[in-house]
Amino acid sequence: MARVAEPALPGSGAVVQLGYAVAVLLGCAAANSARDIGGGWVLSLLAGVGGAAAVLWPVRWSLRFLLRPRRFRV
């Protein structure tokens, strides 16, 4: 029977939510800066997605490998 241990950090949910908020803000900033330099809507969209992905990738990686609860066999 497999049991799940408690999460490593009790405030990990708050850290992940903060990471998502930073990702949204960075995506908006990247889209606005791409639009300001004269890019079309496609460039703005791709810049926003790329800016958000640059933050979301480490957040998801840390959630998966560093903060996930460990499973162990009993």
DSSP assignment of 16-71 equals HHHHHHHHHHHHHHHHHHHHHTT--HHHHHHHHHHHHHHHHHHHHHIIIIISSPPE
> Residue 2, SS3?
strand
* pLDDT (tens digit per residue) in 13-62: 777 788 889 999 999 999 999 999 998 999 999 999 999 999 999 888 87
pLDDT-derived band at 1 (thresholds 50, 70, 90) equals: low
The whole model's pTM is what? 0.69
Single out the residue of 23, 6, 5, 8 nearest to residue 65, CA to CA.
8
